[in-house]
Each structure stands twice: as C-alpha cells, then as structure tokens.
Structure 1
C-alpha cells in the first residue's frame, strides 16, 4: 500500500428491496415507540399504586391486609375493571374525588382512637379500684422480690436440713458400728488435761494447714505456703486433682471438723474428675485418692465417695495390661497406655508400688460387687509366689513383661517399704483369714531380720538396704515405719515378745535420728559408720519434708505398750514442727535439719494432713478412736474397715 493511502474502516451499505438506505437514522421506529410507552405506563402505574399504599403502611397494616390491597391494586392497574366498579370505588364530596383507601384509613384511625380511650378507661378503673400508685407499684415489686428470696432461702434450708439428716444418719451408723466413738467425743473423755491440750494443739495445726490451703491453693494438688499458691508434684502428672482435699477428708472427719469436711466433700462431689492427657502414678493415685475416698466412705457411708473411688479405680486398670499382670508404674488417662520410669532398672516396675494395691482394690471389690479389682491384685501375688527369692528377700525391681527380677537391691525403705506392710495388713483386713498373706509376711521378715537388721557401734539397731548381698550402712526415714509394723505384726507371730522388743529398738533409733539434730526433726536418711551414729552426712540427705513414719511408729507403740515416752516423743515432734516448719500460711518442709533457722522448701505435702497430723492426733486420743480390732490403715494412713467387723452403708 502506498504511503498516500488512508486507512479507512469498511463501510457497509444497507439495502431494502434493492434500494440503498441511509445508515444515519434519526427517527424511532413504531415498535420502539410502543416499548418506551409501555415502560412509561408501567412506571407511572407503580408510582400511582405506591402513592395510595403509603398511608396503610404507616399504620403498620398486617401482612394479610397488605397482600389483599396489593392484589386489588395490581388488578386495577393491569386489568382495569368495568366502569361500574370504578363508580363504586370512588365517592364525590364537595366536588372533590376522594380515594376509598383514605376513607378506610380514617375509619381505622377513629377505631384505634376509640379503642385506646376504652383501654385507658379500663386501666383507670383498675388503678382506682386497686388504688395502686407508682410508689405502691414499686413496693409490690419489692415484696415479690423478697418472696423470691424467701423461696431461695427456704430451698437452701431444706437442702442443708437434708444434708444434716444424712450426716446424722452417717454418725449414727458410725456409732452403732463402733467406727469412731462419738459418745466419747472422739476419745477425749479418758484423757488427762495435758493430753487433751496437746490433742487440741494438733487439731489447730490441722485447721491452720487446711485453712491456708483453702485460701491460697483450693483445688490444686498441694500448697506452697510461702509463695501462697498451688503446687503439683510429678506424681500427680500435670493436672490439678485436689490431692490435699482428698487426702485430708478422713482426717477432718475424725477430728470432728465437720464444716471443713463438708467443704471438701462437696468439692469432691462436684469437681473431682480424672480427665486429661496426664501420665499419673498408679501407686500414688491409689493410696491417696482411692484409699482416701474409700476411707471417707467407710466412715460416713456417703455413696458419692464410693462412686468416685470406683471411677478412679477404673482409670487405673489399663496399667495391668501386661503379660505377667504386674502393672506399669504410670498410666495415661487419655490413651490408657502404661509405662515405667526409665531409671527403674531397665524399665522395671517397683516392688513398693505394685505391691501396695491390695487393701484398696480388695475393699473396692467388696463394696462395689465388681471382682475385677481383687482379681488384679491376686494375680500379682500369684506371680510373686512363683519367683525365687534369695534369702527370702524381695528385690525392688521386677520386669512386667518378662516377669524376671531386676537388679539385686532390697529395702524396707524407699522402693520396698509398703510391700511388706501390705502383706501383714491384707491378713488383718481379711479378718485374719488370708493366711497366704500372713505366711508371705513371716517369711519375708526372716530375710529382713537375717540380712537387713544391723547394730551400730553405739548399740543402735537399724534396717539397712542390701545391695548385691551387702548392707549399705544407712537407714532411711521411710524405713522408720517398721517399728510400728513389727508391733502390729507381733500379735499372731511365733515370738511376740521378740518382735515387740525389736519394734521398740527401731523406735528408739528413729527417735535418736530426730534428737541428734538442731531442729529435733529427722533427716531423710541417716548413717552408721566411722563414728557416725544416726546422722546424715550428705547434704541431699539432711532435708525433712513433713514425713510421718517416725510419729507413725510412736502411735503404734503407744497403743500396744502405753509407755508414756511415746507421747512425749510425739509432743517433741509437734513443738519442732511449730517452731521450724510453721509459716503464716501453712507448714513447709526444711532443707537442713542440722541448722537453726533452716531454709524452708515451700511445700505443704498432702500427706502432712493425711498422715503426720492424723497419727499425732491419734497418739493423743483414746484407743476407742479407730480401734485396731475394727480398722486397718493403708500406707497413707487412711483407715479401712476389717472384714466382718464393720458393715458398709447401702
């Protein structure tokens, strides 16, 4: 294309019947005019209809009326009626054409005015008849509110009355079955003035511990009395289960602290729940929670406590899913899987843990009628019966998968202690019919006395741990419970006097471990070597965490001997606790018993309320409080009834 050419869009010529027609049309076709006219007519009709509907809408016509008028208006617009219909709908007045819609609006308005007047008249007559002024109306409203409050108070009173009736029923039941001597006011009637005062001091210690926990750590597992907030040890996992509440319930009840007991019981009923994803210690949960709830149930007959114990017991059952029936140490609440501590001799279970289930599980089966719990602990015993025991000693570790003992380490202290305790107490709990348990206890006692019992250069007798066949020359605070155990088991043994004498020797040694410190409180463990007698050497042995084992032995020895020195030794412990462990907000352990003004560890252990204070209270009480022929204590000091001497409430 040449440079002179111009780019022009093609022009298309229109033809009609072969005649060219111009493309620049300026006139609308007839069809287009009709369309525009129809649009204008429709728009005008809509405006005309809306104009007449507006008054009815302002009067808030109901839906049916609006629908009726829309139907009527639509008909008039799109399908006009005959002229005679139009004449009927239009009225002439003073030369003006007035719409019938407006006439109806005026009529309705007049009716509404008359209706409002009628209502006002009725209300006026009512106010006149009742003589109700605004002030009087407010008074009536206040009277109604007061009546509602009276109803609420009445319901609360009825609930309180019902609970009190239940409590009195439980107290009567306890009295009828000699659980706690209610007539003697918990055994105070036979006490001298000094003993009563000491007993009251222990009760006030309990109140101080409990009130501080309630104020600063309610619902938490334990209290940090100096920091004034909750504390949770690893034995409870990562969840708050109110361990102190459950552990303290029976102590509160035994001491007659009913208001405090009720508060704890109500929390258990409404808030105690073992849910979550925590790994919990089967041993600790059993002795503190299952044992604590069953003990409170046995004392009161409260079904809620039994049901809670059953629920928790069921949560522990997956731990027994092993080839041998020996349970794992830990169970996960969510998954139901069990496992052992990695440090426990190649993943073994611990003797004192799987061997300290019998009392609670046997009683739980008894009161619920569910045999599964008793079957679990009987299977443990059956497996132990098949194993070889060198020198009648039970090693502290047992593999739950292979059923083979772990490392050769035996102890009546940590890792082994309560296994031996439960052999004897299972026999007592059964009404002395479980002769297998008694036989196992007697045989193990031969090994303990033959291998573990040592005499120091100063003449102190103690139980040492055995490691690879050799004693290690020290005794733990936990092992001091054996004084009480020997005294309890002397009855029914072949040589009662011998074992009572040995019990007294152990009690004396453990008292010396207290008396040889600056605080008069005993260390976690103490040694006998190189001129050292009943004293801790290493710093990690010098702490005291409110443990109960020494005063536990004092209690048993008092019951069996009535030697006043045991009450005096117990009182020395009370004075030391008050001086060195008491804080403004509870009681704390101390880090070094050999220092005056020792540093506190800032933990009020739940077992301080469950065991230490309970044993001290019972030490200064009459024997009618929880007599040994009707009750046996679990390893957390929770009393459980002896079979055949106590009837659980239905």
Structure 2
C-alpha cells in the first residue's frame, strides 16, 4: 500500500518532465515573446533634482526672418550599387556564417551594456561600469537603435523603445553640449530607426524633434553659426552665446544630413535653414582659403575667417567632405550646390594630398593622404602621415565617382581603400594603428621597393655609412616598424575627433579605441564594385579586432596594435555597435539589405531613407 502511493507521484512527475521537454524543445516555436526578455536595470542618473537648470522655452536673440526652403524639383541620380549575380548555396552558407558571427559579437557587447550601463552613455567592458561621455542621455542605447532593426533583433528593440521616454533632453549635468556628436549619435539614431521602421514607432520622431528643439538654440548667435561646444546653461538663462574663434571644419560641415532629414520628415523648415546658412558660408569661403577648394582644419566662425594654414581630410575635418555627396543624394539632386563644392574639393585633394606609399608589393597601388601642416606663400610643408580617420575617404570618393559621373576617381577610391587594408595586414595584431608615417613614392606610376630609401626615411637622414644603417635598423626594431612604415606616432585606436579636441583643450587623452572608417570604405566599395576580395579583407579584420578587444563584459579599447596581447583600456564607445559592427554585418548581408540606392548613410552609419522623385 505504502509503495504504491510513493510510485504514483514519481510517475506523475516523470510524465510532466517529458511533456515539458516535448513542449519546449520539440514543438516548433515562433520568436521568443518579448515578455520573456528581462527588463534591464536602469543605471540612469537619479541625482538630477527637479529644480535643476532646464532648457525649456528660450526667447531667440537673433530670430530668423525668413527660412531657406528645401529645394524643389527632381533629378535622377545614377545607380550606385553593383548588379550582383545570384550566389551559390555554398557561397550563401559561408556568408551567413560570417554574418552571424558578427551578430554574436554585437549581442555580446549589447548584453554587457544592458547589464551594466543601461541608460548611460557607454559601457566599461573590462570592469562592468559605465561612463557618461555625451551628456548622459544614453548614447549607446540611441546610437544602436537602427543596428537592432538591421540585425532583426526585434525583442531587444522593444526594450530600447520602452526606455526612450526616460531621456530628458532639457537638462544635463555636463557643462557643455558637443553639438556635432549629439546630433550624429542621438538625432541620427532616432531618424534612422524611424526611417527603417517606416514610422511605426511615433516615439522615434518625437524624440528627434525634442532634441532638435533643444539643440536648435545653439544656432542663436549673431551670425547664426552654431556654438559647437555649446554652453547650454547660458541659453537656458537667456544669456547670449557666441560662435567660436577656433572651430573645427568637421563640427561645422557635418550637421547637414540630420537636420535636412528632420525637415523632410516634419515639414519644419528651421532645421534645414540652420545648416544651410552654415554651408552657404563654407561655399563662399571655399575659394578664399590658402588652398582654394579645401577648407583649413580650423575656422574662425565668429568672423568667418578661413586663413589657417593647416589642411587635412583626417581628424577635425573628415566628415565635412563626406557629407558633400551624401547631402546631394539626400536632397534628391534638387540643387547643384553640393556637386560644385565636392568637385572643387576633390580636384584640390587629388592634386595635393593623395600620394602612393612605397611597399614591397610593387604591383599594389597603396594610396594614402598627406597633411599640409604649414604654408608660406605657395610653398607647402607636407606631412606623409596616414591616420585611421582618413580611411573613410575611399568610400566617399567612390560614392562621388558614381553620383557625379567621375569614373576616373574610382581608381583613387580603390587605392585609398587598399591602403587601409594594407595598414591592417602589416601589423602583428592585424589591426591598423591610429597614426603612422610611411615612405612616399617619388613617382606614383612607378614605385620599386628601395630598402635604403625606407631606412633613410626612418631616421630622416640619408644612409651614408654602416653606422647610420645600424641606427636605422635599431629604430626599426625598437618601434616594431614593418617594411614601408617609417614611424608609428600612435599605436592605438583612438576616439573620434571630439576626443582629440579634448586633448587639445585639456591636455590629456586616456582612451583608445577600435575605429570603423576602414570597414566603412570596404562596405561601400563592396556594394559598388561587387569585389568579393573585400569581403575576405573584412572577415580577416573582424576576426583580428574581435580577438584583440573582447573582454569580460563587451569589447574594449586597446593600447597598442603592435602587441599581440594589447592592454584593454576599459572603454566601449557607442560607435562600436552603431558603426563598426553594423558595417561588418552589412558586408555579409544580402546586397539589397540597406541598399545604397534606397538609403544614404550618415557619418555615424545611420541609414536615412532617400527621397522619392517628389522630394519627400
């Protein structure tokens, strides 16, 4: 009797276990219900008092009497993307394996952010902490919205959308607002997610407008040029703000896409007007610089003077040039303004800044861009210093070659892209250093390897005897210089140019990071040419980056690409998810997924829907 009562509960329990196993592991399942995802613990700063300074309604000191309207009409833009042939089943399977590996890396870092930095700007991936680098409004959260959509992570997107109401753009504990970075990360993230979901989630456009209303006040100066490192509390107190006498070109010239798209979506002309006034000034000044066609790195935006003698397409200048063909596309070619500005810029760029590097592979067209660091009359002092930020230019030149019908520029685009791939491949970690020097070729069309010339460039002296040769060999060994590289000015990945600004202003720079620019050009070049060797390069680069930067909670900055086991610097910028991994994912996606003929990507890799012929 007793033994029978004991057997019955055991049999029942066994039946329930089997039934549960069949239910959860054998029966077909749809996507995991959103209710099963654990809501992340908010790390949002709760110390901001209700009586904190808030930027609500501000009376404009310099109101606009008449807004510049969006241009009307329609012009056909040439097709950008390659006509890809159908892939074989084996090719598809191999591609999807690589795409899924990128997605796994994204989720690994995203989950670390959710667990330890939710609602804050950045994750500390080594220790599990967080930083507020961009005013504490949740930069990684907002910057990653469109990546979640692109990768089909619907449940994660829902969690992110539910958190957006907590973001209050009217106040921050930060003393300044970096206008450029806030616009490209936050506004770009909202707009791209809105475009990709075709307006399905009203909160996205609403938050973009909230941010636009707030940051529009940074343009309320005597000449309507923005105060790019905006002392927002002065505006909140109805005190006057002034444009800077030393503003970087990138901060001035890289606001157009986000503000233009916001006007297209809302019909409010003030956003387009704000950036168009800036670009009108740049257009006027383009022919008045010391190198007509290019703008100096630094501009006096208070008096609109362009007399600085430093020129580059790298740090502090880069995206101003990137946005010329992209704004042309976003406006549906309804104005010729950006074509004119681009063609002037590219002509001066090709003539003055592009150079070929001497490498052991004489058949490889490795191109980089120089800096002009000083000018005296027509005499220019060049610095043959590639840096990772310049790697965007291959993709930009390729887009310009297509949309402006400049096929002769495509070889330059290929060479610039290949230069950055070469710089990755020659380093021990397989990762390109931030800033380095190379031996320039004396002739671009014929450049045989010259060991003695390389050594001479390493010590900046002609090799005249054995002692000088030994000096060069010792320096090569000490600095870990691969053939062709003459110096490594900075052996790490760095932050964006806003961090370089902080270095210049405050004298310190502590964080170094993985950059997306080379992968950006690989993505664009692959979509334009269909060259599958670019996918091979991207996969090689991804594996090396993932290996070097993966930490306990995410992916971290590293201190030296010359060391096979570099030090992790405990910083994960939002663009790791928003750009680097997004470009990699798209490289291994179907070519029509975020087609360049349907979308134009911002400098933060946010896809904005290209307008139809009607202009909307």
Q: Same fold (TM over 0.5)?
A: yes
Distance 1:188 1:354 in 2: 47
In proportion to residue count, which structure has more helix? 1
Report Cα offsets for 1:124-183 as digits up to 9, x if no partner.
xxxxxxxxxxxxxxxxxxxxxxxxxxxxxxxxxx998xxxxxxxxxxxxxxxxxxxxxxx
- Shift, 1:561, TM fit: 1.2
Q: Take 1:315 and 1:404, find their aligned partners in 2: how far apart are those partners? A: 28
Residue 377 in 1 paired to residue 275 in 2?
A: yes
Quote the Cα distance in structure 1 between the aligned partners of 2:340 and 2:261: 21
Contact 1:221 1:232 in 2 (8 A): yes
Partner of 1:276: 172
Contact 1:526–1:535 (CA under 8 A) maintained in structure 2? yes
Tell me the TM-score normalised to structure 2 length.
0.70
Q: Which residue of 2 aligns with 1:303?
A: 202
Assess, with a 3 A threshold, how the Cα gap between structure 1 residues 406 and 288 changes in structure 2: closer, same or farther: farther
Is the aligned partner of 1:421 residue 2:322?
Answer: yes
Partner of 1:472: 383
1:101-120 aligned within 5 A: none
Partner SS, residue 391 of structure 1:
coil
Q: Give the Å deviation of 1:570.
A: 0.5
Instruction: Answer whether contact 1:283 1:329 (CA < 8 A) is retained.
Output: yes
State how far apart, in whole Å, the 2-side matches of 1:312 and 1:525 are: 34
Work out whether 1:482 is the aligned partner of 2:379. Answer: no
Q: Give the counterpart of 1:364 among 242, 251, 262.
A: 262
Answer whether contact 2:354 2:369 (CA < 8 A) is retained.
yes
- Say if 2:455 is the partner of 1:555: no
Distance 1:492 1:484, change over 3 A: same
Contact 2:126 2:551 in 1 (8 A): yes
1:630: how far off? Answer: 1.3
Structure 1, unmatched stretches of 5+, are 1-157, 161-186
Q: Distance in 1 between matches of 2:224 and 2:273?
A: 10
User: For 2:487 and 2:132, how far apart are their aligned partners in 1?
Assistant: 29
Q: Tell me the distance in 2 between the aligned counterparts of 1:624 and 1:595.
A: 39
Q: In 2 relative to 1, CA 308–574 (structure 1 residues): closer, same or farther, beyond 3 Å? A: same
Counterparts of 1:136-155 in structure 2 under 5 Å?
Answer: none
Q: What is the match of residue 625 of structure 1?
A: 593
Return the offset for 1:333. Answer: 3.5
Contact in 2 for aligned 1:293/1:305 (Cα 8 Å): yes
| 1:430 aligned residue | 331
> Aligned partners of 2:358, 2:242: CA distance in 1, in Å?
40
Cα contact 1:241–1:272 (8 A) shared by 2:
yes
Q: Which residue of 2 aligns with 1:254?
A: 150
d(CA) in 2 for partners of 1:283, 1:639: 17
Contact 1:217 1:223 in 2 (8 A): yes
- Structure 2 unpaired stretches of 5+: 1-32, 36-86, 360-364, 375-379, 440-456, 459-480, 495-512
Cα RMSD over matched residues? Answer: 2.5
* Alignment deviations for residues 16-51 of structure 1 (CA, whole Å, 9 cap, x no partner): xxxxxxxxxxxxxxxxxxxxxxxxxxxxxxxxxxxx
Say if 2:368 is the partner of 1:462.
Answer: yes
Following the alignment from structure 1 to structure 2, what is the Cα–Cα distance between the partners of residues 604 and 418? Answer: 22
| Structure 1 partner of 2:310 | 409
For 2:552 and 2:240, the matched residues in 1 are separated by 41
Counterpart mapping for 1:135-284 below 5 A: 192-233=92-133, 236=134, 239-278=135-174, 279-284=176-181
Distance 1:411 1:490 in 2: 20
- Matched residue count: 456
CA distance in 1, matches of 2:614, 2:335: 18
Partners of 2:484 and 2:156 in 1: CA distance: 39
Q: 1:334 aligns with which of 233, 239, 257?
A: 233
> CA-to-partner distance for each residue in 1:223-259, whole Å, 9 max, x for gaps?
01111110233xx2xx421100000000011100011
CA distance in 1, matches of 2:91, 2:341: 39
The aligned residue for residue 41 of structure 2 is none
Residues 646 and 633 (structure 1), Cα distance of their counterparts in 2 relative to 1, 3 Å cut: farther
Change (3 A) 1:258 1:190: farther
TM-score between the two structures when normalised by the length of structure 1 = 0.67
Of 205, 212, 216, the residue aligned with 1:313 is 212
